[in-house]
Structure 1
Amino acid sequence: MAIRNENDNIKKIKNVFICFGIIVILAFLVMTYKDDKLRLNASFVATDVNATGIENDEYFSTISESAEEGDVLYAHLYSYKPGKYNVKFHCEVSNEGSGFSIVTDGSVTPDNTFKTEVLDYIPLLPDVTEYEYDYTIPSHVRDVKMVIHYGGSGTLKIGRAYHTSYKLYYYDCAFVLFCLALLGLIIGYQFRKKKWEFKIFDSEKESGLTDFGRIFFLLVITFIASIPLLGKGFYERADLQFHLMRIQGISQALSSGQFPVRMQPVWHYGIGYPLSIFYPDLVLYPAAIMVALGLSEYYALCVFLIINNFLTAHIGYKAFSAITKSYKKGLIISAIYTLSVFRFGVMYQCQYGSIMAMIFFPLVLDGIVNVIWEDGTRWHILALGMTGIISSHILSSVMATLMCILCCIVGLRNLASVKKLLAIGKAVLTTLLLNLWFIVPFLLSYNRNYNIIFEQPITNRSVVFIPQMFQWINFGGMTNQYGSETAGEMPISVGILFAIAIIGFLVMVIQERKCDYVLGTCVFISLATLWLSSEFFPWDYIIRVPALGKMLYHVQFAWRYELIATVGLSVVTAEVILYFLEKLDLKIYFVVMVICLINIAPSIDCVTNYYPMFFQDKYQYSYHFVDDTENVDYMYRDLPYEELKSLPRTVIVIAENADVSNLKRNGVDMSFDYTKDGDAKFTLPIIDYPGYRAWINGEEEELSSTDKHQLTIIADRLKANSGSIEIKYREPGLWRVCEIISVVSAIIMIIFVRKRKRVE
């Protein structure tokens, strides 16, 4: 009978694998069928920031008679592929003489001139309000823009222009189905050697759950955390557009062959942006790869965040189980942590750097607890957790370091051992080696004259009032960003559940008259970081302390310290629930899910009913975020950005008898042919960030730069009267060495972890 049951179980597993395989194949076939079109919409902005007579709102741009004649409005359409497109728009004009045109932006025309190539032009007439026509982007063009020419008299009012490609694109839903089925195959493969039973509970196991039951529990957690992602649109808050730009920038850089990504091409009208040198984005690569493979930014972000929720629950379960030595406690803590009010608020405030880092904070806590209070053999877990955080969000690595310091303060007596200090040393060294590829370029670039270096953090003005810290239902904001009021500001709170848990902890300690080291440590780091985030912390004095003040102050927002408190209080809350409800046995899982759902229900309501919707149609989204003029943190302080953004995105020839042809751009790289008769100078649409190199007729030559930080090729470098020029971004050799060291360290770490798992 036992053999028969085992055979039946194997057959069930095989059937599941077959089903997943069929789904993968069907999804792939649907994807290759390409049964949908790409639809985009774009709003116009004034070509001159000081223009008079032009007003813009969310839907329309209006030109009055006080405006001057000329090209007064434009909208960039970056990264369009060659092919046929249809455009529709609504326009009202009172007089004739105005027109709408699609023109090239950043490409040389077929006759090798530098004049803007007009792809299509239509006059705007007083008796016509609805316009629709087709236009074609030729193969030599990469970027285009729409331009409105004002005739100089009367009024003109134009709305968004809606573009539709005639080329068919992938089904996003098929791609998502493909990814989910592939994930199912991976999960199934990981558990291939285990005996699967398709039931949830098993009273003989410590957790009370079967392997299938644990996966089911984690998937339920993931589903609840992802509820706002399952609607038609996305909720626009805080840094959504910034992170969408990051995804697009990484995707284009990877597609052009740049790895790891250092210079993103799409930012600031295509002049390049060293964002990836300062803002770690390795964990964001999966979303960028999905976009590069054909998925829309909307679905790529949704899939990425759903996977993020699952990884947070799964890794949290593993780490918290190791900390508490209980699978049951690990699952409950993971649920409370993943569904915490703080994490939910940060995710749907679009603080994705912090959300990615929160995947790895439980690993850091697991590693540091093992090193201080146990045998120290899990130091590599600490190194892996820190590596994940550094690769996600540089400011979160400061908070993770602070969490480790606070744990060391609590367990200072335990550290008086060579073995413990050696374990900490190995964790620190391994972390440095694994992240050398990012740390060295970051530190070498940090000393340059970038805006970010001189930016003044507002940490002391972003504290949390105590009543707001544990607020449960809120629709107006929860942080004192500017020291005066909270209306309309960022809603960040640890929630009422943690406040109840603190009271329950005090009752439990008074009743039992004891507290183990894990619980005591979690309470200490939680209360300490809640104090750091509150209005009662003396920020004005602390910032004057040379080392400590600078480290604490540069997390930018004081409320971010609630992240550490969320980690610690999740452990405390689980212990309190199990202490008071221990008689519920297996029903405890259902009770915990109900408690967590009630805890974040007001947050879900706040997000779905009070946040503005973005991407209401997943294929129709505004490209105004491509022209991100506000994010100049990593540009030179003395860069005349307002002047540069109005320059053409092509080579400027400073000579009478010189010409350029066959201009091509691949990411941040550029190549073109030239001819000249006499001296000539070529000014490039590239900012002189370190790393750009030039090859003229196959020989490397030195680049110069203008007073506006644009790269130039001066006459002395052009020895021949004709030839080809290649401009490429290449990392310094030291950076490559650091990358090799990090890759070798990662391989050694993988081998070490696999051997250790076999021994265990």
Structure 2
Amino acid sequence: MRRPRLSVVQLSRLFFCLVLTFISCKAYFHPGVPDTHDGENHLARFANYKIAIREGQFPPRFAPNLYHRLGYPVFNYNYPLANLVSLPFSIAKIPYHFTFKIIMFSSVFVAIYATWLWLTKLGVPFWGRVVASTSFAASPYLFQSIIFRGNVGEVMALSLILCWLLWIEYSSDRKTVIEQRSLLSRIFSPESVAGGSILGAFFLSHNVTVLFATPLILGWSLWRQRNTQDGLLRTITALLFGLGLSVWFWIPALAEQSSIVVGGSALAQQYAQHFPTFRQLVSSSIQFGYSYVGSVDSLSFALGLTQLGAIGCSIGLVIADRLGKKHRQTKDQSTFLIFFIATILLTLLQTTVTHSLWQTIPLVRFIQFPWRLGLLALIANTFLVGYVFQRNIAWQKYLLVSLVVIQAVIMLRLAPVGYINKPSLHYDLFEQSTTTSNENLARNFTFSELGDWQPVPTVLSGQAEVNVLSWNGSQRSYQAIVNSPALIAEPTMNFPGWQTTIESNSTSKPVSYEDNQLIGGRIAYHLEPGTFTVHSQFTQWTWPRVLGNALSLLTFATVLCTVASLFFAQRREKHDS
């Protein structure tokens, strides 16, 4: 049986989206990676994720070599999707910077291609899709995320949101004869598994984006499928699958917040001082920079010429419709109004005008920067660009075409502030924390002698001789010959999950950790006189991790069984026909 070939139209569409991706990611076609806010941090996380797996952590939660070799629980709290995707490349010994480029380029391409298909499903005409996709690819927010901020997690989240929006449209088109399918077959349908996989990946892509985007995209999903029983069932099932696939990360990340200092970090407390002004949203120089406390920033928060033009045209359309002007009505006028309102609200929410509203939002302090809502505003605005062409008002179309050309030229002239091209070993031995304010430090960690790390325990009091048998960042064994009661400290940050046992005279027992000003939050314990073999290992044995891992494993097994069942059912159907 011949495999279906791509048509000329499909190939042309792929080629166009690929060209737009090259435009957005042109800075990555250069030796090394752009010098960005987060780029090197991600490379170091790629390295430590591989090292943690190699040392027996699964899933990794404690980065063995970060924070001056003392270890750092960054993986327990920060989005793991990019690290998971990097693993095959790291195992194949592909340089981390090249892996970063592959992930970023692929994510941007998926985002642009999904945008095109999504707009097609919403009835946007061809030239509307061309201009809207170009405005998306050349938007200041996306460009800065790629070449100035280097936030690969946020770009992955953006692409997965668009995949979910596309899934909603395909799922809505899927006509199911309810009487001919059992409830079980509708729950474990190909659409539910696909949607659950998209949501599962999205929930692991970027913490802040997940927290603020999830209510919006689920609300849109339920509204879009409100008239179809099967559509609602597929959405709910996909949500449950997605949650199940991601709770191995989210249950520990939320339940173990009290173990780290994140709630009291500077960024968590200063979100209210990072609101852009209206002037910054309308016009600010697009260049490498940072978001500072107050209204003086070097990072641009500009919406973009095309984005501003789309808002202006949409306001005109709303006013014209309300005044009774005769414009051709589209099939789904309410969709336009929803995205128009979403664009306006998501833009206003980035400014101080809505500060009082922000204070009522749960978990608001964890967004750190309100201007991150620009990512969601960009998606809504992209539809508005396409909708202008759907309304077919000539002067508005010419205006947006002119603006998108100017915007694309401006973006093409942007260049990174510099490039970094370091060997992989540099990131294997990376000693910083990879977080902005060290917000994942263990709450009781105060040890300050960071430059004198050695892979050997220290005898803080008493008399003892220590001989190391084996050592790495996740587990170690050593012999301790204790002559008088001794306080032993390992050069590792103490964090829930570490377990130390001592063996003596063929008996084994766990130790109780201690802490004081001298210990400073390291792994430490007392030993009485004697000869001991000591084993320390980072484990998954906390109730949030056990629960999260078990639920995700069960969900993953269910998804695999469903996929296998659907595959063999399809094979049987083809064989019978």
TM range (shorter): 0.7 to 0.9
Residue deviations 1:270-309, cap 9 Å, x none? 1111111111212332335424432333222222222222
Rate the CA distance shift 1:322–1:618 in 2: closer, same or farther, 3 A: farther
**Structure 1 residue runs without a partner (length 5+):** 1-9, 11-191, 201-208, 583-587
CA contact (8 A) 1:335 1:593 kept: no
Determine the C-alpha separation between the residues in 2 that align with 1:451 and 1:260: 22
Determine the C-alpha separation between the residues in 1 that align with 2:449 and 2:290: 39
Rate the CA distance shift 1:381–1:498 in 2: closer, same or farther, 3 A: farther
CA contact (8 A) 1:470 1:495 kept: yes
> Aligned-pair distance for 1:246?
1.8
Which moved further from structure 2: 598-607 or 331-340?
331-340
CA contact (8 A) 2:23 2:412 kept: no
Determine the C-alpha separation between the residues in 1 that align with 2:101 and 2:312: 37
Match of 2:410 among 602, 621, 635: 602
Residue deviations 1:316-370, cap 9 Å, x none? 4444444448888667654443442211112222222211211111133345667
CA contact (8 A) 2:327 2:391 kept: no
- Is 1:353 matched with 2:153? yes
Determine the C-alpha separation between the residues in 2 that align with 1:740 and 1:568: 35
Counterpart in the other structure of 2:202: 389
CA contact (8 A) 1:241 1:625 kept: no
Rate the CA distance shift 1:653–1:246 in 2: closer, same or farther, 3 A: same
What are the equivalent positions in structure 2 for 1:484-499 lying under 5 Å apart? 484-486=295-297, 488=298, 490-499=299-308
One-letter code of the match for 2:336? L
* Structure whose alpha-carbon radius of gyration is higher: 1
> Aligned-pair distance for 1:393?
0.7
Determine the C-alpha separation between the residues in 2 that align with 1:368 and 1:637: 42
Determine the C-alpha separation between the residues in 1 that align with 2:68 and 2:425: 21
Match of 2:366 among 548, 554, 562: 554
CA contact (8 A) 2:135 2:307 kept: no
Rate the CA distance shift 1:369–1:594 in 2: closer, same or farther, 3 A: same
> Aligned-pair distance for 1:229?
0.8
What are the equivalent positions in structure 2 for 1:515-664 lying under 5 Å apart? 515=330, 516=332, 517-537=334-354, 539=355, 541-545=356-360, 549-577=361-389, 580=392, 598-608=406-416, 611=417, 613-615=418-420, 626-628=431-433, 631-643=437-449, 646=452, 648-653=454-459, 658-664=464-470
One-letter code of the match for 1:502? I
Determine the C-alpha separation between the residues in 1 that align with 2:457 and 2:369: 42
CA contact (8 A) 1:692 1:729 kept: yes
Match of 2:108 among 278, 286, 309: 309
> Aligned-pair distance for 1:530?
0.8
CA contact (8 A) 1:221 1:338 kept: yes
Residue deviations 1:83-105, cap 9 Å, x none? xxxxxxxxxxxxxxxxxxxxxxx
Rate the CA distance shift 1:556–1:755 in 2: closer, same or farther, 3 A: farther
- Is 1:721 matched with 2:531? yes
Counterpart in the other structure of 1:683: 489
Determine the C-alpha separation between the residues in 2 that align with 1:519 and 1:756: 40
Determine the C-alpha separation between the residues in 1 that align with 2:169 and 2:11: 29
Counterpart in the other structure of 2:557: 744
Match of 1:400 among 194, 206, 213: 213
> Aligned-pair distance for 1:596?
5.2
Match of 2:33 among 234, 238, 247: 234
Match of 1:672 among 466, 478, 500: 478
One-letter code of the match for 1:351? N
Counterpart in the other structure of 2:95: 296
Determine the C-alpha separation between the residues in 1 that align with 2:154 and 2:522: 34
Counterpart in the other structure of 2:262: 452
Which moved further from structure 2: 271-280 or 615-624?
615-624
> Aligned-pair distance for 1:554?
3.3
- Is 1:267 matched with 2:66? yes
One-letter code of the match for 1:671? S
One-letter code of the match for 2:549? R
Counterpart in the other structure of 1:29: none
CA contact (8 A) 1:320 1:362 kept: no
> Aligned-pair distance for 1:642?
1.8
Counterpart in the other structure of 2:323: none
Determine the C-alpha separation between the residues in 2 that align with 1:255 and 1:478: 36
Determine the C-alpha separation between the residues in 2 that align with 1:381 and 1:622: 35
CA contact (8 A) 2:275 2:352 kept: yes
What are the equivalent positions in structure 2 for 1:69-88 lying under 5 Å apart? none
Determine the C-alpha separation between the residues in 2 that align with 1:468 and 1:754: 53
> Aligned-pair distance for 1:660?
2.4
Residue deviations 1:618-647, cap 9 Å, x none? 789799963449642111334214245545
Residue deviations 1:121-145, cap 9 Å, x none? xxxxxxxxxxxxxxxxxxxxxxxxx
Rate the CA distance shift 1:275–1:476 in 2: closer, same or farther, 3 A: closer
CA contact (8 A) 2:70 2:491 kept: yes
- Is 1:222 matched with 2:27? no
Residue deviations 1:73-120, cap 9 Å, x none? xxxxxxxxxxxxxxxxxxxxxxxxxxxxxxxxxxxxxxxxxxxxxxxx
> Aligned-pair distance for 1:372?
9.0
Residue deviations 1:235-282, cap 9 Å, x none? 323223332322222122123232211111111111111111111212
> Aligned-pair distance for 1:668?
1.8
Rate the CA distance shift 1:721–1:477 in 2: closer, same or farther, 3 A: closer
CA contact (8 A) 2:95 2:424 kept: yes
CA contact (8 A) 2:82 2:103 kept: no
CA contact (8 A) 1:341 1:600 kept: no
Match of 1:426 among 222, 234, 237: 237
Counterpart in the other structure of 2:183: none
Determine the C-alpha separation between the residues in 1 that align with 2:150 and 2:534: 42
Counterpart in the other structure of 1:483: 294
SS at match of 2:478: strand
Determine the C-alpha separation between the residues in 2 that align with 1:704 and 1:436: 29
> Aligned-pair distance for 1:683?
1.7
Rate the CA distance shift 1:757–1:356 in 2: closer, same or farther, 3 A: farther
One-letter code of the match for 1:526? T
SS at match of 1:245: helix
Rate the CA distance shift 1:311–1:706 in 2: closer, same or farther, 3 A: same
Residue deviations 1:647-690, cap 9 Å, x none? 54421135776322244223321122343445444321122211
Match of 2:524 among 712, 734, 742: 712
Query: How does the TM-score come out when normalised to structure 1?
Result: 0.62
SS at match of 2:488: strand
Rate the CA distance shift 1:506–1:635 in 2: closer, same or farther, 3 A: closer
Counterpart in the other structure of 1:502: 311
One-letter code of the match for 2:108? N
Which moved further from structure 2: 743-752 or 662-671?
743-752
Which structure has more relative contact order (CA 8 Å, sep 6+)? It is 2
SS at match of 1:435: helix
Counterpart in the other structure of 1:464: 276
Rate the CA distance shift 1:195–1:638 in 2: closer, same or farther, 3 A: closer
CA contact (8 A) 1:654 1:682 kept: yes
Counterpart in the other structure of 2:248: 437
One-letter code of the match for 2:510? E
> Aligned-pair distance for 1:580?
4.5
